């Protein structure tokens, strides 16, 4: 975010890591030992190789709630603190999930394109869509964001169940200990699980098959949580009714097949993309930095 970058440069004399691989290698060879703090975002993180190249690193300050691109295991081994920006983006990411949910079931974006192409006048009324209210919704990952999504879906009179590594205390939603079984019971599966190696391709071909040809997938988590090739196959072969996707395996690249499907809504990873939320994320990122530099602790550590 430019506003954060400006503060880092002007107030902290920060140095930007070169973008090109060769320039980065030379820079890190010459200066990597100088730096004790890295400020990054969920898209880039501080991966294994970069962390090794920063031998005196003490903290990774992350703009965003996701930190799966940072080597947290190495950070823990070396005593490097890692922070993120939780809670401040819950509402907007949940709103994006609901927008995708309504859009893909009611075919809002597709109907908009139908009108813009002049087909309403030329061909008549748009085909019927699927009712969004009263559905059985399974949520993969009932964490901070998953809980907010669930509350919003209550307003649609949906029946909500969820799958986590373990049951969540203090919620009335049904816990299902098998993701395949959750998918089998759901009309819509909403993916809100954290990214990282433990959740990679959790939503695989078996889970998608359990959803079935009249059911939908919504993903606002990380593209890596879904087996994208299996998803494309299921949609292409009519084994899934549609998908609403804000995230992809190899962003910003999106499989060409998805772009051609009228029953798929694709967004450019804008879950938290509002002026208000990004300002709150920026403030929390800088608060983590200030606290670490002054006290050696973090406002919102992830471990």
With CA atoms as reference, report the closest residue to 147 among 131, 169, 178, 132: 169
Reference 186, options 171, 174, 194, 198; nearest CA is 174
User: Is 10 tagged catalytic?
Assistant: no
- Label residues 35-70 b or e (16+ Cβ within 10 Å = b): bebbbbbbeebbeeebbebbeebbbbbbbbbbbbbb
| Active-site option among 214, 251, 262, 276 | 251
**Annotation says 251 is catalytic:** yes
Q: Which member of 107, 163, 185, 222 is catalytic?
A: 222
For residues 209-242, one letter each, b for 16 or more C-beta atoms within 10 angstroms of the residue's C-beta and e for the rest, the string is bbbeeebbbbbbbbbbbbbbebbbebbeeebbbb
Tell me the Ramachandran region of residue 134: left when phi exceeds 0, alpha when psi lies from -120 to 50, beta otherwise: left
- Which of the following is catalytic: 107, 163, 269, 278? 269
Count the neighbouring beta carbons within 10 Å of the beta carbon of residue 91.
Answer: 17
Q: Is 222 a catalytic residue?
A: yes
- Please tell me the distance from the alpha carbon of residue 183 to that of residue 30, in angstroms, as a whole number: 52
Q: Which of 238, 270, 274 is nearest to 252 (CA)?
A: 270
Those residues whose C-beta lies under 8 Å from the C-beta of residue 73, and which sit 6 or more positions away, are: none
Q: Active-site residues: which are they?
A: 222, 251, 269
């Amino acid at each position: 975010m430019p506003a954060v970058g400006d503060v880092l440069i002007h107030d902290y004399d920060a140095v930007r890591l070169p973008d090109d691989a060769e320039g980065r290698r030379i820079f890190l060879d010459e200066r990597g030992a100088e730096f004790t703090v890295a400020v990054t975002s969920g898209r880039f993180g501080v991966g294994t190789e970069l962390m090794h190249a920063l031998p005196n690193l003490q903290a990774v300050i992350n703009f965003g709630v996701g930190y799966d691109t940072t080597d947290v295991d190495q950070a823990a081994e070396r005593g490097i603190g890692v922070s993120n920006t939780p809670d401040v983006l819950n509402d907007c990411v949940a709103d994006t999930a609901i927008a995708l949910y309504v859009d893909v079931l009611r075919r809002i974006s597709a109907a908009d394109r139908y009108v813009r192409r002049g087909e309403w006048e030329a061909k008549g009324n748009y085909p019927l869509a699927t009712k969004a209210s009263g559905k059985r919704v399974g949520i993969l990952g009932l964490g901070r964001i998953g809980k907010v999504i669930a509350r919003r879906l209550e307003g649609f009179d949906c029946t909500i169940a969820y799958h986590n590594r373990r049951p969540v205390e203090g919620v009335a939603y049904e816990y299902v200990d098998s993701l395949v079984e959750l998918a089998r019971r759901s009309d819509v599966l909403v993916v809100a699980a954290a990214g990282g190696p433990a959740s990679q391709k959790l939503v695989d071909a078996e889970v998608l098959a359990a959803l079935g040809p009249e059911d939908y997938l919504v993903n606002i988590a990380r593209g890596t949580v879904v087996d994208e090739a299996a998803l494309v196959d299921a949609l292409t072969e009519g084994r899934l009714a549609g998908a609403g996707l804000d995230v992809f395996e190899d962003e910003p690249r999106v499989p060409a097949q998805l772009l051609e499907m009228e029953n798929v809504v694709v967004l450019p990873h804008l879950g938290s993309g509002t002026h208000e939320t990004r300002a709150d994320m920026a403030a929390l990122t800088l608060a983590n930095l200030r606290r670490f530099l002054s006290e050696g602790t973090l406002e919102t550590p992830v471990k």
